[in-house]
Amino acid sequence: MAPRSPARTGRPRSAAADAAILEATRAALVDLGWSKLTLGDVATRAGVAKTTLYRRWAGKNELVVDAVAALFDELELPDRGSLAADVEYVVRQFAALLDRPEAKTALMAVVAESTRDEPLRARIRDSIVDRQKRLVLVGRARAEARGELPRAQGAQDAARSADLIFDVVAGAVVHRMLVSGQAVDSQWVHGLVALLAGGLPSAVSPLPSDA
C-alpha cells in the first residue's frame, strides 16, 4: 500500500550525517567564506568521510544552497498594522539575515555559479527564492484587506506584480548591502518605504529621521 522507495535494501543513510554536514558547512562558511571552503574541511568538521558527502551532494554549489536555504525559511511576516510597517519589518529582517556571514558570502556566490549552471539555478529558485515570495503575497493580501492597495485584477497580473515587488525589495536590500557595501540603516529603510509608497517624488524629499 505504502509507496515504498525504490531501493529498500542495504544500510540506510544516516540522518544524523545530513544534519552534521549542513551545520558544518555553515560553520565553515563563517570561518572561511565561500572561496576557501573545501569539501574536505566540511567533512572533517562534520566528523564524516568525504565520500559520504559526495554521495549526497553533487558538489560545493549544491551543498551550500542546501546549507543556506534553511536560514531563509526563518523569515516571517507578522502583522505590523500597516503596509509601510510590514515592509519595514521584512526589509529589516532580510537585512539582518544578509548580515550573517554565512548568508552573505554564500548567496552571491551560488548565484554567480548559477549563471552557467541551469540545474543549480533551479535548485536556488526552488530552495530559496520562490519560498520567500510568500512574504510578498502575505503582505499584499493584508494590504488589500486594509484597503491600502487595490485588488489584483487577475491571477496572472497578481503573480507578475508580486514578482516585480519581490525583485525590487529584495534586490534593493541585496544591492545596498553586498554591492554598495553599506548598512541598511533606518534612514535608508524609511527612504525605501517612502519610495514604495509614493514613487520617486516621495523618495527625494527629506524624511524625518528616527535614528
Asked whether the beta carbons of 191 and 207 are under 8 A apart, the reply is yes
Q: Measured between alpha carbons, how far is 143 from 146 in angstroms, rounded to an integer?
A: 5
51 or 156: whose CB is closer to DNA? 51
Question: How distant, in Å, are the alpha carbons of 49, 70, 71 from that of 106?
Answer: 23, 13, 11
18 or 188: whose CB is closer to a second copy? 188
Q: Cell 534593493, residue?
A: 172
Confirm or reject binding of residue 186 to a second copy (CB under 8 A): no
End-to-end CA gap in the chain: 62
| Angle subtended by helix axes 186-198 and 155-174, to nearest 10 | 150
Residue 17 interaction partner, one of a second copy, DNA, none, beta carbon < 5-8 Å per kind: DNA
Confirm or reject binding of residue 191 to a second copy (CB under 8 A): yes
Torsion angle in degrees (nearest 10) through CA of 49, 54, 57, 60 = 90
Confirm or reject binding of residue 112 to DNA (CB under 7 A): no
Number of residues that bind DNA (CB under 7 A): 26
Among 17, 67, 169, 192, indicate the residue that binds DNA (CB under 7 A). Answer: 17
To a second copy, the closest distance from the beta carbon of 177 in angstroms equals 9
Asked whether the beta carbons of 183 and 91 are under 8 A apart, the reply is no
Helix (H) / strand (E) element for 167: namely helix 155-174
Among 45, 174, 183, 210, indicate the residue that binds a second copy (CB under 8 A). Answer: 174
To DNA, the closest distance from the beta carbon of 136 in angstroms equals 35
To DNA, the closest distance from the beta carbon of 55 in angstroms equals 5
Residues of this chain that bind a second copy (CB under 8 A): 33-35, 83, 101, 104-109, 111-116, 121, 124-125, 129, 140, 143, 148-150, 152-154, 157-158, 160-161, 163-168, 170-176, 178-182, 187-188, 191-192, 195-206
